[in-house]
Structure 1
Amino acid sequence: MNFNEIQGTYDVIFSLGRNCLAADQLSRHMRRKIGGVLDWVESPALSGVSNLLRNRFSNFMELPNLAITGINDKAECYIVRDAAYYVFSHHDFPLNQNTPTQLVSYPELREKVTRRVPRFLEALRSANRILFIRTEGTIHETAELLDVLQELVSGEFNVLVVNQAPVSGIVETPWPFSNVCALQIPMVPDEFHDNDYLWKNILERFTVR
């Protein structure tokens, strides 16, 4: 699927990671109609996302699976890893509310997950047309993701994969999937801002009902 073919109107657009970039850009450009489960977490491995979807988020961010792995200085939060799915929270555990040995604000995260997961899964069942955006994914990981989404999504869906690469603009990658468009954008020092003009160019081609 090329870039022209994937453009158009969707009922909803969801980010599938790798970090907050896609959700942030969707919000900036008024394309984020419903909050997704993976909007504000880091999911370095797309295979972990596929496994999470395959399991319908079973045991996602359960307390026994969580461990503090660092500090996000910009967010002023602990970085907390979900070992079951290799997903990292960067925004749910403020330094001033938690300690290195106790995740005091965990009930707030649990409430958010409990609210968002059913809403996300219901959208997959009820929407007529869905676009998923993933930053950083390989062709093999994407093939696995498609198999999982086929089991979850009732209507039509497409996937937009955006990878950073040594290119100077937006470059299409010819992947052999009928409902996947793969793009490359430049590798930059600050991925959250330096490619803003390219994300504007990409997202203005889509509308949400």
Structure 2
Amino acid sequence: MNYNQIKGTYDVIFSLGANCLPADQLSRHMLRKIGGVLDWVESPALSGVSHLLRNRFLNYMELPNLAITGINDKAGCYIVRDAAYYIFSHHDFPLNQNTPVQLVSYPELREKVSRRVPRFLDTLKNANRILFIRTEGTIHETAELLDVLQQLVPGEFNLLVINHAPVDYMVETPWPFQNVCALQIPKVPDEFHDNDELWKNILDGFSVR
């Protein structure tokens, strides 16, 4: 599927990571109709996302699986890893509310997850046309993700995979999947801002009902 084929109107567009970038760009362009479960977390391994979806978020962000791995200075939060799925929270545990040995604000995260997961799964089940956007993924990881999504989504869905690479502009990658468009965009020092104009051009081709 090429870029012109994947463009169009969708019931909902969801980010599948690998970090906050897709959700942030969707929000800026008024395309984030519903908050997704993976909008504001880091999921560096697409295989972990596929595992999470296959398990329908079973034990996701459960307290026994969490460990502090660092500090996000910009967010003013502890970085907390979910060992079960290799997913990292960067925005849920403010430094002024938690300690290096106690995640005091965990109940707030638990409430958010408990609200968003059923809504996300219900939307996958009932929407007629869904677009998923993922940054950073190999062709083999994408094949695994497609297999999982086909089990979760009875309606039509497409997947836009955007990889940062040593290119000077947007380049389409010919992947052999009927409902996947793969793009490469420049690898830049600040991916949250340096490619803003390019993201604008990419997302201009999409709308939500």
Q: Which amino acid aligns with 1:134?
A: R
Distance in 1 separating the partners of 2:187 and 2:157 = 28
**Aligned-partner SS, 1:9:** strand
1:67-119 Cα offsets, whole Å, 9 max, x none, are 00000000000000000000000000000000000000000000000000000
Structure 2 unaligned blocks of 5 or more: none
Q: Which amino acid aligns with 1:58?
A: L
1:89 corresponding residue in structure 2: 89
**Aligned-partner SS, 2:185:** strand
1:143 corresponding residue in structure 2: 143
Moved >3 Å (runs of 4+): none
Distance in 1 separating the partners of 2:124 and 2:164 = 28
What is the deviation of 1:145?
0.1
2:193 corresponding residue in structure 1: 193
2:155 corresponding residue in structure 1: 155
Equivalent residue pairs, number? 209
Q: Which amino acid aligns with 2:124?
A: L
Alignment of 1:39-118 (within 5 A): 39-118=39-118
2:180 corresponding residue in structure 1: 180
Distance in 2 separating the partners of 1:7 and 1:163 = 18
Distance in 1 separating the partners of 2:27 and 2:179 = 24
Distance in 1 separating the partners of 2:47 and 2:203 = 25
What is the deviation of 1:58?
0.3
**Aligned-partner SS, 1:160:** strand
2:124 corresponding residue in structure 1: 124
Distance in 1 separating the partners of 2:140 and 2:198 = 26
What is the deviation of 1:41?
0.1
**Aligned-partner SS, 1:133:** strand
What is the deviation of 1:37?
0.1
1:141-186 Cα offsets, whole Å, 9 max, x none, are 0000000000000100000000001111110000000000000000
Distance in 1 separating the partners of 2:115 and 2:55 = 17
Alignment of 1:23-38 (within 5 A): 23-38=23-38
**Aligned-partner SS, 1:192:** coil
Identity %: 85
